[in-house]
Chains A and B, each alone.
Chain A
Amino acid sequence: MSNIAGKAYAMNVITPIHSYMAWINKLIFWIALKMPSTLRGLITLSLIHYARWVIIGKKQFPHLDASQPREDLHYSYMLFFSNFNGSWAQYVDSFTFAIPSGLDLFWKWNIRYPRSVPLTPFHSYIQFNQIQTDHYYNAYPMAAANDIKSAKTVRAALLAFDAKFGATASAASVISAAASEPHTSPSPEQFLQHYNALLRSLQHDMGVMQPLPIISLADQAKGE
């Protein structure tokens, strides 16, 4: 069992839903897809790498061979997969506190869903319906979702800075000087001024990552 890969936790939840209610859920998801502003609450939960909801109709379980028995089910099923940073409890609680009504909107029609508030029945519901992951792979176990977003900002800013004030800029200006244009290689003082400005602009994105997992074994056990 391995729900954890570095800083990411894999959550799998499967819950039954009446087939006729599944269509309502699909409609709600479709609206959320067409109107991304409805997902603003989710975006504030910046601990999520990726999450998805999949609804399997009661007759839609893959059937690949004549020798495979066909499923005969009363309900359709909703699968929820999430990849997030932090512990199980932090994640579930942040959902409850940040977007309780959004949570209810997505799960409301599922059988015996207790609603997101109060917390304890909701914890029990998720724990009861959670499936443990057998193998979890993360391409960047040392990074949180916020690290990936901020790293993109840092690299883009550094490339732009280097094009103006770095060695490449100096070489380019030497070439332009050969073409009888004024030499614009930055003086050390100019460089320092712009370097400090670069650091100021990246204050919220800088930071060293570490290989240690941020989740304790105790927290992992809580999710089992």
Chain B
Amino acid sequence: MANVSGKAYALTCLCPIRKGQLDGIAYSDEVRYRLHNWGLLEQSPMAKVPQTYLCRYFVLNDVYYESLPGTEFGGTFFDFLSIFSDRFRRKALPKEDHLKSKYLVFSCNLHGDLDTYLRGMWQAISADIQTIWGFCYGFEKVNDADSFIAYIKKCQLNASLFFNGSNDDPLPEQLKALYVKQEFSRFAEQHQGMSAAQLQQAYQAFIQRIEPDNLARPSWQPGQTSLQLGG
């Protein structure tokens, strides 16, 4: 399945937003406003969701009319026919499409299988989920992890191609590895030119401090933006 690359999973869903207003503001704009407010928080709610590598939300208002010039299949053929009549030139114009609903798009790169991930997401941030998805068609039937999983799967679209340019390790392993890389790089820099005995002693203290095989701690935290928090 193209949604999977090793143990990494590409979740894509388009959730149609209901038509209506909340205090004079269209539901789609309210969803967008609430998502923008997530960006003002010290930590995104998604930092609480286990195994999230990267994810994004946006509101798809409409599709675009391709008014810019371009090269496309059949273009030269219409160029030739337009010598005879203007209608061939007009026929070569793209057609105009408009969506009847606006969609909340949730695109997520995660580790592991989808059901486990969505269950963990519901358990971690169900209140946040409801504030965003509450304006979507069909979401009124969602009241627990199972119904949330079923709902997301109804909105899911399969990827045609998923490219993983990173790795597919579990997130705690990735974060621990980043912590170890950071600390060991500092250690190597700060302990240059030491005597062999001093270096060996310092190294042993260093390993005891960073515990490279302990994934729980010390490590970087999901979404950590500062080195002061945990390394």
Contact = CB atoms under 8 A, between A and B. Distances in A.
Interface of A: 1-2, 5-6, 8, 10, 12, 14-16, 21, 25-26, 29-30, 32-33, 39, 42-43, 45-56, 60-65, 67-75, 77, 79, 81, 83, 108-115, 121, 124-125, 128-129, 131-143, 145, 147-152, 154-155, 158-159, 162, 166-168, 186-189, 191-192, 195, 199, 205-211
Given A134-B35, A155-B212, A49 B54 contact: yes
A64 B138 contact: yes
A194 to B, nearest CB: 10
A109 B69 CA distance: 15
Place the interface of chain B in its size category: 35 or more
A121 B203 contact: no
A26 B137 contact: no
Interface in B170-219: 171, 173-178, 180-182, 184-186, 188-189, 195-197, 199-200, 203-204, 207-208, 212-213
Given A49-B109, A137-B55, A14 B223 contact: no
Interface string B37-58: 0110000101100001111111
B68 A128 contact: yes
Contact of A211 (B101, B158, B204, B225): B225
Interface in B29-83: 32, 35-36, 38-39, 44, 46-47, 52-60, 63-64, 66, 68-73
B142 to A, nearest CB: 11
Given A114-B68, A195-B203, A65 B177 contact: no
Chain B at the A interface: mostly helix, strand, loop or mixed? mixed
Contact of B226 (A112, A208, A211): A211
A125 B70 contact: yes
Given A64-B155, A135-B44, A139-B223, A72 B54 contact: no
Given A50-B109, A53-B160, A139 B222 contact: yes
Contact of A208 (B14, B107, B186): B186
Contacts of A14: 60, 63-64
Given A68-B137, A69-B100, A129-B64, A111 B72 contact: yes
B84 interface: no
Interface string B144-172: 00000000001101111111111101010
B86 interface: no
Of all A-B residue pairs in the complex, the 6 with the closest CB atoms, nearest first, are: A112-B70, A64-B138, A188-B196, A151-B177, A48-B165, A192-B196
Contact of A52 (B60, B159, B174, B200): B159
